[in-house]
Amino acid sequence: MSVAEHHRVVIVGAGFAGIGLGVRLLQAGIDDFVILERNESVGGTWFEHTYPGCACDIPTHLYSYSFARNPSWTRLFPPQREILEYVRGVADSYGVTPHIRFRCEMEHCAWDEQRERWRLRTSRGKLETDVVVSAIGATAEPAEPALRGLEEFAGRRFHSARWDHDHDLRGERVAVIGTGPAAAQFVPEIQPRVAELFVFQRTPAWVVPHPDRAVSSLERRLYKLLPVAQDVQRNLIFALHEAIGMGFRGRTELIAPIEALGRSHLRRQVSDPVLRAKLTPHYRFGCKRPILSNTFYPALTRPNAEVVTEAIARVERDAIVTGDGARRRVDTIIFATGYRYNRSLLVDRISGVGGRTLGEVWNGSPRAYLGSAVPGFPNMFILLGPNAIGINSVIFTLESQINYVMGAIAAMSANGLRRLEVRPDALRAYVREVDRRSLGSVWTNGGCKAYYTDDDGRNYALYPGFAAEFRRRTRSFELAPYEVGRRREASRSSGARSA
């Protein structure tokens, strides 16, 4: 029987999270780690999402690592291609790339209670590790709705996150199901090319004017010569996002002006009162992810476009039939229906103490201490885990959690620990706090159903506080909320072992 290859740390995913953690490990002098990446490139979301018009909806100054500022962004809101180049550049320049195993998918990960380590089965062989870190993020798996008759559809169908670039949409009748941020970006790109465009909308989104613009060559030279100038802008934008977050958490007077801006934007761009009524949201701004766009509404007003609000009853071989009996012939269906965050397939591939999977433990409502650790899953940490995502920069949140994971790894080394498992009571207290602070927020009391909440309306995704506060809470790692097990050789010399 062959011995599995062993590493101190195994990271699943080579997106922003995995690359960022890899950099920090190397900076700490830890080079015994591998990053498993199912694709042939780093980038995660920004490698897989290549739909027309794909771009970030967070300003460039917030969308970069603190240790790798990028003064060369060409737009205030960077396009997908530039973000991917940035991540690749960081992985190469900081020496992370040699630690990545491309086209290597994690198929199963199981905790070995006797040996107190994780055993992984991948598409390229078996591994063992002391610490495993999930860095897959929230958009790893596209979600497709369970539509009656979908398998009988004879045309092309794909999710926006897996765009079929070989398929020519020119002259086709295209159905877009969903009206989230991705749809708002690609619909204006494909609308001029298609013969007919049917946009199936369940809930209208809040759409506000997009402040995107080109970053001048003069600005880029300034950022290179005087990095503090970029930091000043970053801090101002960060503070603005923190202030908006107060409105999401109950200070609704702070988001009322944004709602007024959204309604004004809709009135200016959509003159047809019937269409405008369809596109008017009847819930608080922020309950669902808002959209920045100057082109989405105009695309929906074109003669070849129709917004359909009737529920889909079934899909036929060449058509979509809605609940009112209307039948619309379509050649291609594009799903813009989000991701399987709280029902990710990956959670069924991770088995902890007693063989219980992460999916079984979560049961549709993810919970993790500081968004990072789950009882029953020793030596495992999650980046961008439950109730860790902030409404500010996701990179800021990632670096906060990376600090926490690095603190845990350092604590294991300093204290001779072989096992580190968060206590159930610590998680329960944290979840009670999160639930209490989420009451009255737009996510739980805003009048909509968003992917932030589970089937019972509980906010399982977002951190209900300031991003700066989350940073403070994760700056240092404390052993008190954890059960620990010392290395066997250390316990023999000390004559005791806690568990």
Please provide residue 369's backbone torsions phi and psi, each rounded to the nearest 5 degrees. -70, 125
Q: Tell me how far apart the alpha carbons of residues 483 and 94 are, in angstroms, rounded to a whole number.
A: 34
CA angle 46, 52, 54 (to 5 degrees): 35
179 CB contacts (<8 Å, ≥6 apart)?
199, 201, 202, 203, 204, 205, 336
pLDDT tens across 76-91, in order?
A: 999 999 999 999 999 9
Q: Give ranges for CATH 3.50.50.60 in the chain.
A: 5-141+340-494, 150-211+269-335
What's the token pair of residue 478?
A: 């404390």
Phi, psi angle pair for 367, to nearest 5°: -140, 135
Q: What CA–CA distance (Å, rounded) separates 58 from 261?
A: 19
Percent of the chain with pLDDT over 90: 79
pLDDT for 469 beyond 70 = yes
Average pLDDT over residues 297-316: 98
The beta-strand segments (E) located in 267-365 are 291-292, 305-308, 312-315, 319-322, 327-329, 332-335, 350-351
The CA–CA distances, whole Å, from 309 to 50, 301, 418 equal: 27, 15, 55
Mean pLDDT of 367-396: 93
Helix (H) or strand (E) holding 413: helix 394-414
pLDDT in tens, 220-275: 999 999 999 998 988 998 898 888 888 888 788 889 999 999 999 999 999 999 99
Identify the H or E element spanning 277. Answer: helix 273-278
pLDDT mean across residues, the chain: 92
Give the integer Cα–Cα distance in Å for 293 and 449.
22
Determine the pLDDT at residue 125: 95
3-class SS of residue 145 = coil
Block residue for tokens 């209900």 = 464
- Specify the CATH number for 150-211+269-335; select among 3.20.20.190, 3.50.50.60, 3.40.50.2300, 3.40.605.10: 3.50.50.60
Residues 207-214: what's their mean pLDDT?
97
Q: What is the pLDDT of residue 371?
A: 95
In degrees rounded to 5, what are phi and psi of residue 6? Answer: -115, 140
**CATH homologous superfamily for 5-141+340-494?**
FAD/NAD(P)-binding domain (3.50.50.60)
Residue 185 · residue 50 · CB < 8 Å: no
Average pLDDT (421-441) is 95
Residue 459's contacts (CB-CB under 8 Å, 6 or more residues apart) are 387, 434, 435, 438, 441, 443, 444, 452, 453
Helix (H, G, I), strand (E, B) or coil at 497: coil
Residue 495: predicted pLDDT? 34
Residue 192, classified by CB atoms within 10 Å of its CB into exposed (0-12), middle (13-18) or buried (19+), is: exposed
User: Which tokens is 476 given?
Assistant: 């240092």
Nearest CA among 375, 399, 371, 397 for reference residue 385: 371
Confidence of residue 33 (pLDDT cuts 50, 70, 90): very high
Is residue 139 within 8 A of residue 339, CB to CB? The reply is yes
Could you give the 3-state DSSP secondary structure of residue 280? coil
Tell me the pLDDT tens digit for each residue of 108-147.
999 999 999 999 999 999 999 999 999 987 777 788 889 9
8-state DSSP, 345:
G
Total-model pTM: 0.93
Q: What is the pLDDT of residues 330-342, one digit of tens each?
A: 999 999 998 776 5
3-class state of residue 230 by DSSP = helix
Least confident of 45-59, 227-241, 470-484: 227-241
From residue 350, how far is each of 56, 72, 97, 344 by CA, in Å?
A: 31, 40, 25, 11
